[in-house]
Structure 1
């Protein structure tokens, strides 16, 4: 085979490779466009959360401004999408009072939530001798004396959306659930063994 014929065959191979690469690129662009159109049409709705109940085992404020808390909560998470699944990644739940965190983070295991599914989680939020800001300590004592303390159960984490075989990147999930804890003559709780259980059924605010 002459040098001219070799060059001719090499040129054909290069053209063929360029065409294959161009075809793959066009195919991927079309696939991406279809996924984006599908995503826009489906318009994924953020999940809905309800704080069903809270069982208080310990809620003790001691000097100097130290708070110990043990609360078991039941939270329902609902995926309202009929065509989109949700991956919950790295979820952490905790309690706050007056914007101050009063328990440690408790991890909720990662889970995939199918179309319109509901997941129920029953974690504990616990804090032992957590330092409380002096002004919050005074306010907390006043609230407890008055017979009611407003806590917030919060969830921080990451979610991903699943449409068909497509899985999105991670989005920040923030959930905030009000939990009114009552004491003394105003208590709405029911004594269960060594704890007090409050039926709350509170809708939570959700941002993604």
Structure 2
């Protein structure tokens, strides 16, 4: 094959590939504009507290099981969740390690429920956070934020959108009987549940 013919064939292949990519992008854009997918609706349903205490130094040990539900409000658009992780924070500081949630497909109008365990063994926090947690435990009410984050894609038929960043924040007041030891620090190692139906803030 002559050099000119090879160059011409290569140009045609590149042109065909570029045309395909443009058509695929236009298809996704049209589907998006026509169907206008709404972001999922997340609800925090339950929190079981096994442990939430100050440990050695300015460290927090936390052990929860949370139940989070997601509803896809779209009728003809499915959702793919990818690389989701869950965790808990107190006063803006993470108090558990990230917990990976399984990749999940969610059909239109479907509700999916996750119930992960969130555990943080002696997570270092700022000194003021430790002081605040001690005071809140003595009072018997602690404001914790359950977080879910990861990737999300919308799917219409065989067309899948590009990946978006999903961020979910579920603030919850954990109410439990405050019990004090000799130094006045609340000890909350007893298991208790907080049955909830709380809407979460969702950003996509």
- TM normalised by structure 1 equals 0.81
Report how many aligned residue pairs link the two structures: 186
Q: 1:196 to 1:40 in 2, by over 3 A?
A: same
Distance 2:49 2:90 in 1: 15
Shift of 1:143: 1.1
Distance 1:164 1:179 in 2: 37
Picking from 9, 31, 36, the partner of 1:38 is 31
* 1:98-118 deviation line (CA, Å, top 9, x unaligned): 000000000000011111110
> Structure 1 or 2: larger helix share?
1
- TM normalised by structure 2 equals 0.82
Q: 1:64 to 1:166 in 2, by over 3 A?
A: same
Distance 2:25 2:88 in 1: 41
Structure-2 residue corresponding to 1:179: 172
Q: Which runs of 4+ in 1 moved over 4 A?
A: 20-32
Picking from 98, 104, 115, the partner of 1:122 is 115
Aligned-partner SS, 1:142: helix
Picking from 197, 200, 203, the partner of 1:204 is 200
Shift of 1:126: 0.2
Q: 1:40 to 1:140 in 2, by over 3 A?
A: same
Distance 1:151 1:75 in 2: 14
Task: Report the aligned-residue RMSD.
Answer: 2.4
Q: List alignment gaps of at least 5 residues for structure 1.
A: 1-10, 186-193
Q: 1:27 to 1:95 in 2, by over 3 A?
A: closer
Structure-2 residue corresponding to 1:3: none
